[in-house]
Amino acid sequence: MHLPPCSPAELEARLRLHRLPGIGPQRFFTLIQAFGDASSALSAPASAWLSLGLPVASTEARRCQEVRTGVNAAMSWLERPDQHLLMWDSPAYPPLLAETCDAPPLLFVAGDPALLERPQLAVVGSRRASPPALDTAVGFSRCLAQAGFVITSGLALGVDGASHKAALDVGGHTIGVLGTGIEKLYPQRHAQLAKRMVDSGSALVSEFPLDAGPLAANFPRRNRIISGLSLGVLVVEASLASGSLITARLAAEQGREVYAIPGSIHHPGAKGCHQLIRDGALLVESVGQILESLRGWQNLPPAPVHDPDHPLLALLVAAPQTSEELAHGSGLPLSQVLASLTELEIEGRVSNEAGRWFARSA
């Protein structure tokens, strides 16, 4: 269990301050700067809070029993070895996120908090993604996870969920950044996925109190954490109104790389990605392009080691073939062949021309 470097009384005070209505990151840090610590802030007179421009509701809620009950529940939650609290002044606080201008002062983490310091790439996109977009999200996430990156996303339906699952399926790690408290997981359809993530050594993260429900305004807020934790953000499919564009904009403002997958000009779900490309995002068709763009970053995972004896590659080196011919020649089910070809194409190792697959030279 990770706890901030402070006394039990100060820990409790920080949790109380964090639960007060109207106290976001900026006001939290305003109070800490004005009074030195959370304990002193909570015991300061109401007039001092009002002089800082804080709302009356925040000031009056300091003695609220509901706040104390929530704090007690959080303290009990932190007694489990796989449940953690990371504060802004903790050595374990993720350094990339700490660089951002609106970093959350407090992060609840279920699972392995050390993952937050590992090189991450965010994969985001539409909640109602098309089947090709889901295939693309799976292919990129699998390849990036195999390359050693932690896949970070928002645990939403569609692209987010597909990306988390893909990373786990290849033995990789993934981080789900929630727009609710960890104890109020949303959507509930991903409850089993969330459990699988924690049980397998991945992590769930939230800046919100454990019992915070799914308020609409909180989901765009959490996007700055997704981008802030990551070296770059890959947008797979998004309409012009998609929340994924918020994540991409925040990533650009934070100095992170933004990648976008192009699509058909006739598909509304491609318009957001095309807008990002016009705005300067890198158009990507392979994982290799992402890895190349990140050269120069320190502490990147080692480059993936490709298996030269991949059965499909061996067949394609001999001669270009259709998917059906590859299935016949390899003895593999066509569905498995198509999934493998998608990954190989994303890695830049094969290409498709007029229905036939070709091996590409390294």
pLDDT tens digits along 57-77: 999 999 889 999 999 999 999
Q: Do 217 and 223 touch, CB atoms closer than 8 A?
A: no
With the CA atoms of 302, 336, 200 and 157 taken in that order, what torsion angle do they form, in degrees rounded to the nearest 10?
100
Q: Which amino acid is at 109?
A: V
Picking from 79, 105, 124, the residue at the C-terminal end of a domain is 79
Q: What angle do CA 291, 295, 298 make, to 5 degrees?
A: 115
Distance (Å) of CA 199 to CA 76, 110, 153, 194: 20, 10, 18, 9
**pLDDT category, 354, cuts 50, 70, 90?**
confident
List the single range of 27-36, 98-107, 173-182, 325-334 with lowest mean pLDDT.
325-334
pLDDT tens digits along 262-298: 998 999 999 999 999 999 999 998 888 898 898 777 6
pTM score, whole prediction: 0.86
Span 21-48, average pLDDT:
95
What DSSP character marks residue 361? P
Indicate whether 319 belongs to any domain: yes
Picking from 250, 267, 293, the residue at the C-terminal end of a domain is 293
Whether residues 161 and 221 share a domain: the answer is yes
What DSSP character marks residue 298? T
Whether residues 72 and 132 share a domain: the answer is no
Tell me the C-alpha distance between 97 and 86, whole Å.
12
**pLDDT category, 84, cuts 50, 70, 90?**
very high
Q: What's the total number of domains in the chain?
A: 3
Whether residues 211 and 134 share a domain: the answer is yes
pLDDT-above-90 percentage for the chain: 73
Q: Strand pairing of 232-235 and 203-206?
A: unpaired
Region for 53 from its dihedrals, namely left if φ exceeds 0, alpha if ψ lies in -120 to 50, beta otherwise: left
Whether residues 14 and 147 share a domain: the answer is no
Q: Which domain holds residue 339?
A: 311-359
pLDDT of residue 303: 56
**pLDDT category, 305, cuts 50, 70, 90?**
low
Indicate whether 96 belongs to any domain: no
pLDDT of residue 299: 67
CATH classification of the domain holding 182: 3.40.50.450
pLDDT of residue 320: 83
Span 338-357, average pLDDT:
86
**Number of C-beta neighbours around residue 268 at 10 A:** 15
pLDDT tens digits along 147-168: 899 999 999 999 999 999 999 9
Q: Is the pLDDT of residue 4 over 70?
A: no
Whether residues 163 and 47 share a domain: the answer is no
Q: Is the pLDDT of residue 306 over 60?
A: no
pLDDT tens digits along 199-224: 999 999 999 999 999 999 999 999 99
Indicate whether 99 belongs to any domain: no
Picking from 27, 55, 79, the residue at the C-terminal end of a domain is 79
Q: Is the pLDDT of residue 43 over 60?
A: yes
Indicate whether 208 belongs to any domain: yes
